Amino acid sequence: MSNRTVMVTGASMGIGRACAERLDRAGWNVIGASRRGTSSGAWHSLTMDVDDDSSVAQGIASVVHDHGRLDALVTCAGWGLAGAAEQTSTEVAKAQLETNFWGTVRCVHDVLPTFREQGGGRIVMIGSIGGVIGLPFQAFYSASKFALEGYAEALAYEVAPYNVHVTLVEPGNFKTDFTKSRRMVNVPSTDPYAAARDRAISKMERDELNGADPASVAVTVERVLNAKRAPRRVSAGKMNERAGLFAKRVLPYRVFESSIRGSLGV
């Protein structure tokens, strides 16, 4: 396994860092990429901004040049935005999708030629349960993760003939720096959404601070990378959160929405 090379984006903190650490211990040759670079000496650090076309192109080209091949890509880079959809400017909403969706697209776009030429590769995208169940007062975060769902599913059909496998990992709430680094939408002095927004965000932050250890997502990612048949989707986190994915598939939408309101804080 020591000759396999994986790039992990967003490796400076949270789920990305947990994945880089886990895969490094498992013997992978890990390149941990992030906008600020990583401080760990346990793996190769790469300063790369997924919001920038040139940065991604140069970063991935350097990995292939320096290591001879790239066997897997794990996309963890992302951030959260909270606030009422009506009060979110187009500029801020675009910034949310720029990192969470287009950042992944850039990385995938630039690794695919290498994967095809070398006869295969694995792509693991860190999505979210919020990419299957819309999160109130996180509309554009959910939109970015819903977009990943459609992109990954369509992409998987296109690249399967080249032995490239695509998997979405859908985490629930995890205790990471994600909560502290979340950006809040500016609100007007008279705010009709104040009570509902504050209630939902308070519930969300409590759930995150009491969330599971991000190391469990890393275990899931490692399992996916080692699987003979990579799953298209796999959830991670507490069972009561993951049960919502099943409930949405099988329950009438009115019943589902009624049953889940409390867990969403609305």
The residues carrying an active-site annotation are 141
Read out DSSP for 205-227? HHHHHT-B-THHHHHHHHHHHH-
Considering only CA atoms, which of 255, 266, 247, 262 is closest in space to residue 133? 247
- As beta bridge partners, residue 44 has 31
Handedness of CA 131, 134, 140, 146 (dihedral sign): positive
Distance CA 202, CA 124 (A): 30
- As beta bridge partners, residue 30 has 6
Q: Which two tokens stand for residue 144?
A: 């970015």
Beta strand pairing call for 72-75 and 81-82: unpaired
Check if the beta carbon of residue 46 is closer than 8 Å to that of residue 31.
yes
Distance CA 6, CA 9 (A): 10
Range list of H helices, 86-235:
90-97, 103-118, 139-159, 178-181, 194-209, 215-226
Handedness of CA 172, 177, 178, 183 (dihedral sign): positive
Q: Which two tokens stand for residue 68?
A: 């001879």
